[in-house]
């Protein structure tokens, strides 16, 4: 259940160095892949530790609308095989995918496997401009028919399905790796060896690797020729015991691993010690470059499931390419005002077409805080000006208000700037920064602010 939050939420700073250990929810990326693969599995699937959020609720609701049984039993999500073995018993359905890119792309690819279906697919306004054309073009070449009701190649559309024709497809996934992942998942349900070949490059390659590894975990045979050609052979069978265990969300963990930049001290995240699938765990290397001490299971033999970040002094700016783990660039960029020296973030051009134009929006919010920001097509350079931010906060305080950050209905903006707000910038323990629309965190981390407050209270007790 998504907590009720005010329209504008002041962030209470930490008045003591961080000394907290938190648990983050399951990975959205892994959960929605597990649901998609579970729909193809011959015996269904039980999913343990999956994320409960808006994006995963969208995926489950769509599967139910298509006639699949999705139940919550004893803390697990159980997706049962459809009667008669049909992938989607319902041949007509209206699906609303919100602003969930994984649900939009994975479901569209799965729909193509159905023969004789007519499906209406729509989403939030922001989803109407997110990249889909590489996927719809590929599916059209395999026999699907699309009637677009807005921008060509984008949601909303009507899709008529005739099953997947042929034994392979070439796809342009240059704007989103989810397009390639969607086709790889679909390939497992083709009923024959099916080859997906990438034309050119894609972004966020670790998410493609995640998909390939999860296909193997679900029993598919995968043969790869380099990074651009993959042949997938089903069927899928559950072969991992009683339930598929979803990893904790490494992207969600990034906020708490970065917390010491704002508060000093140390912050631990439970369950990260055995991350295998998520490329966003590489964010820890950026923190190390910035001067934080980050320890994992090899450094913490008594707590092998933990990852712990700590900082005694001031972190420094870095120059880093975030393309492979771009969801975490907001985490670091929002804290750039607290770093000593310039920060340059590269490899983020594709994030202009995510929940919002993340590059432009981050530049705008940092400038609001008095920072010197240079915006390029795929990069941001931030020259920190801490005195300017302090002066802006003081002026707001004199007017009995907080500096308000626009979140653009983007969960990652809200969580990233919440960590900045944890700095006791004016030295009095009172909020100086507030977030508009904090409830947008319900997309992937509904309990984020409760978890952050527990970390603050824990740090006060433990210091």
**Residues recognised as catalytic:** 327
Distance of CA 77 to the CA centre of its chain: 20
Rg (CA), the chain: 22
Helix (H/G/I), strand (E/B), else coil: 302: coil
φ/ψ of 358, rounded to 5, equals: -70, -30
Residues 6+ apart with CB under 8 A from 450: 3
Residues 6+ apart with CB under 8 A from 416: 255, 330, 331, 333, 334, 335
C-beta atoms surrounding 379 within 10 Å:
18
Closest by CA position to 215, among listed 190, 243, 242, 235: 235
Buried b (16+ CB within 10 A) or exposed e, 156-179: bbebebebbeeebbebbbbbbbbb
Whether the upstream peptide bond of residue 235 has omega within 30° of 0, thus cis, is yes
* H or E stretch covering 140: helix 133-141
Closest by CA position to 47, among listed 359, 206, 37, 55: 37
Buried b (16+ CB within 10 A) or exposed e, 273-307: bebebbbbbebbebbeebbbebbbeeeeeebeebb
3-state secondary structure string across 49-99: CCCCCHHHHHHHHHHHHCCCCEEEECCEEEECCCHHHCCCCCCEEEEECCC
């Amino acid at each position: 259940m998504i907590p009720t939050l005010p329209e504008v939420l002041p962030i209470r700073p930490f008045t003591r160095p961080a000394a907290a250990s938190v648990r983050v929810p399951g990975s959205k990326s892994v959960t929605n892949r597990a649901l998609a693969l579970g729909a193809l599995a011959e015996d269904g699937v039980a999913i343990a530790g999956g994320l409960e959020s808006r994006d995963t609720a969208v995926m489950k609701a769509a599967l139910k609308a298509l006639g699949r049984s999705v139940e919550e039993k004893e803390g697990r999500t159980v997706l049962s095989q459809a009667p008669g073995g049909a992938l989607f018993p319902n041949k007509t359905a209206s699906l609303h995918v919100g602003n969930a890119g994984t649900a939009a792309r994975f479901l569209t690819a799965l729909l193509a496997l159905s023969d004789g279906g007519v499906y209406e697919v729509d989403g939030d306004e922001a989803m109407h401009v997110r990249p889909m054309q590489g996927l719809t073009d590929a599916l059209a070449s395999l026999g699907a028919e699309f009637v677009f009701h807005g921008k060509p190649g984008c949601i909303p559309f009507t899709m008529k399905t005739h099953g997947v024709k042929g034994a392979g497809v070439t796809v342009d996934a240059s704007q989103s790796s989810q397009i390639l992942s969607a086709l790889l998942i679909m390939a497992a349900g083709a009923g024959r060896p099916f080859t997906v070949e990438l034309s050119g490059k894609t972004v966020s390659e670790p998410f493609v690797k995640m998909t390939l590894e999860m296909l193997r975990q679900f029993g598919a045979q995968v043969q790869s020729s380099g990074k651009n050609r993959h042949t997938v052979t089903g069927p899928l069978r559950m072969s991992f015991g009683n339930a598929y265990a979803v990893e904790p969300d490494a992207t969600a963990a990034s906020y708490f691993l970065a917390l010491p930049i704002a508060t000093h001290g140390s912050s631990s995240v439970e369950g990260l010690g055995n991350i295998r699938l998520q490329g966003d765990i590489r964010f820890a290397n950026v923190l190390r470059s910035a001067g934080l001490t980050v320890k994992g299971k090899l450094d913490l033999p008594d707590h092998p499931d933990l990852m712990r970040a700590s900082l005694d002094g001031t972190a420094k700016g870095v120059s880093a390419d975030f393309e492979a783990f771009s969801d975490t660039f907001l985490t670091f960029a929002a804290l750039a005002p607290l770093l000593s020296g310039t920060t340059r973030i590269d490899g983020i051009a594709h994030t202009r077409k995510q929940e919002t134009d993340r590059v432009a929006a981050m530049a705008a919010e940092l400038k609001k805080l008095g920072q010197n920001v240079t915006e390029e097509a795929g990069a941001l350079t931030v020259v920190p000006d801490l005195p300017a931010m302090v002066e802006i906060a003081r002026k707001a305080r004199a007017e009995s208000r907080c500096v308000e950050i626009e979140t653009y209905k983007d969960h990652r903006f809200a969580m990233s700037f919440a960590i900045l707000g944890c700095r006791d910038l004016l030295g009095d323990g009172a909020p100086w920064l507030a977030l508009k629309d904090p409830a947008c965190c319900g997309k992937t981390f509904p309990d984020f602010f409760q978890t952050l407050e527990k970390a603050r209270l824990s740090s006060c007790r433990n210091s």
